[in-house]
Amino acid sequence: MYTVADLKKGLKIILDGDPYLVVAFDFVKPGKGQALYRTKMRNMINGSLLDRTYRSGESFEPASLEERTMEFLYKEGDHYTFMDQQTYEQVVMEEETLGDAKNYLLENLKAEVMLFGEKAIGISLPNFVNLRVTATEQWAKGDTSGNDSKPATVETGYVLRVPPFIEEGELIVIDTRTGEYSTRVKG
């Protein structure tokens, strides 16, 4: 158990059953008064922020979170299944929890899955992924419209802006942190 004296930025605790990350903390104590421990916390499952003030004597259950390398297996509806290659253990994540990460999930992609007990609550992807363009308009030579990018769909269904010279069937590199086109894979 943690006490109020353990509170600091970065501490992970359980509140109403959910894991929370302390994102801001301050200790306040008016002269001759009782100490207050003021925190701002982020729910690690849904990202919502919470302000809570604690007093001396209160205690918290530590949230134990584990990050494991897992491989994306398949998608069924809005459920995504991952597997730990060492233990063959599988976890299912909902599309909502995945957020933008769903745009880059191709079968066999390896990602770091954050586990809270049995539950997968988040994922971190490699910074760059390679995906093939499945649909984009042909670049009309002599186009004077001044557009320096055009929309393209990649094999996961994700649509992004790419330079005009990119053609259907090409493999491109996408920065997963920004969701933007980075470069083209030659060859």
Partner 1 sequence: MKSDALWLRAQIMKAVRDFFWERGFLEVETPLLIPANAPEEHINPVITTSSWQLQTSPEICMKRLLSAGHRKLFQISRCWRSDERGSRHLSEFTMLEWYCADCDYHTLMADCEELLQHVARTCRPENPFFEHKSATINPFAPWQRITVQEAFARFGDCEVWECLRTGLYEEKLTAVIEPALAGFAAPVILLDYPAELAALARVKPENSNLAERFELYVGGLELANGFSELNDPLEQRRRFEEANAARSRAGQSVLPVPEPFLDTLGSMPDSAGIALGLDRLVMLTAGADSIDDVVAFTPEEL
Contact residues: partner 1, CB under 8 A: 5, 25-36, 53, 56-57
Rounded to a whole number of angstroms, the minimum distance from the CB of residue 29 to partner 1 is: 6
Please tell me the distance from the alpha carbon of residue 58 to that of residue 138, in angstroms, as a whole number.
Answer: 64
DSSP class per residue in the chain = -EEGGG--TT-EEEETTEEEEEEEEEEE--TTS--EEEEEEEETTT--EEEEEEETT-EEEEPPEEEEEEEEEEEETTEEEEE-TTT--EEEEEHHHHGGGGGG--TT-EEEEEEETTEEEEEE--SEEEEEEEEEPPPPTT--S----EEEEETTS-EEEE-TT--TT-EEEEETTTTEEEEE---
Rounded to a whole number of angstroms, the minimum distance from the CB of residue 36 to partner 1 is: 6
Rounded to a whole number of angstroms, the minimum distance from the CB of residue 18 to partner 1 is: 25
- The nearer residue to partner 1, 53 or 64, going by C-beta atoms, is 53
Rounded to a whole number of angstroms, the minimum distance from the CB of residue 5 to partner 1 is: 5
Q: What is the largest CA-CA distance in the chain?
A: 78
Count, residues in the chain: 187
- The nearer residue to partner 1, 55 or 110, going by C-beta atoms, is 55
- The nearer residue to partner 1, 4 or 21, going by C-beta atoms, is 4
Rounded to a whole number of angstroms, the minimum distance from the CB of residue 47 to partner 1 is: 25
- The nearer residue to partner 1, 29 or 79, going by C-beta atoms, is 29
- The nearer residue to partner 1, 31 or 187, going by C-beta atoms, is 31
Rounded to a whole number of angstroms, the minimum distance from the CB of residue 131 to partner 1 is: 44
- The nearer residue to partner 1, 6 or 170, going by C-beta atoms, is 6
